[in-house]
Chains A and B, each alone.
Chain A
Amino acid sequence: SQKIEQNSEALNIQEGKTATLTCNYTNYSPAYLQWYRQDPGRGPVFLLLIRENEKEKRKERLKVTFDTTLKQSLFHITASQPADSATYLCALDPLSSASKIIFGSGTRLSIRP
């Protein structure tokens, strides 16, 4: 069956450390993978997109990797801050390169001071 799994339902990190979130998928061949942040009671906000031919993408303190062999994406937040506390969602295109995206289960990240 097809799955998008984010391995940790919740992750607690000390401020200043690097948070690493995992997204694994099964029986999909996405052309791209996206990461979103969602705060309680709000819609998701786009963070990063990485294409199948890209190994790594960076934006400020954020870094995403994409390994199509392992069928995995890693999302890193360096120098984490309490304001980074939120739910992080990975998403992919189930029909390669189409605009429709579906989401993983999400990881609730808490950064403690």
Chain B
Amino acid sequence: GAVVSQHPSWVICKSGTSVKIECRSLDFQATTMFWYRQFPKQSLMLMATSNEGSKATYEQGVEKDKFLINHASLTLSTLTVTSAHPEDSSFYICSASPTGTGNQPQHFGDGTRLSIL
């Protein structure tokens, strides 16, 4: 149980394109999901907390207009990288917890590798 699916697994696109990444909880409902990015050989950096039915909470230094998050249902959060540039190339990973409370494991998707040419 507690499976999180991410789509697409990889995407290559031209500079200036907007890219949407989906994160789905397959067998549980998630009022809260998290988005991370990871550069090669580095750890995961938390970008934002996605809240179902309300605005996302962004970490310091993350541009909310650049990384649009929508959490319209209890099983789906989307991250849209708007007008992507080569410096946005990274590995983006989402996570969720069935309980949505602290003190519980997070379940991660398998990530989306984004390459901007």
Contact = CB atoms under 8 A, between A and B. Distances in A.
Contacts, number: 69
Interface in B41-85: 42-46, 49
Interface string A31-46: 1101010000111111
B111 A99 contact: no
Interface residues of A, number: 26
A89 B38 CA distance: 13
B43 A99 contact: no
A100 B50 CA distance: 11
Given A31-B102, A51-B103, A100 B46 contact: yes
B43 A42 contact: no
Contact of B103 (A31, A43, A44): A31
Nearest to B108: A43
Contact of A93 (B93, B102, B105): B102
Contacts of A43: 4, 6, 93, 95, 108-111
Interface in B1-58: 4, 6, 32, 34, 36, 42-46, 49
B43 to A, nearest CB: 5
A104 B49 CA distance: 18
15 contacts: A31-B103, A43-B95, A43-B109, A43-B111, A44-B44, A44-B108, A93-B102, A93-B103, A99-B101, A99-B102, A100-B34, A101-B34, A101-B46, A103-B36, A104-B43
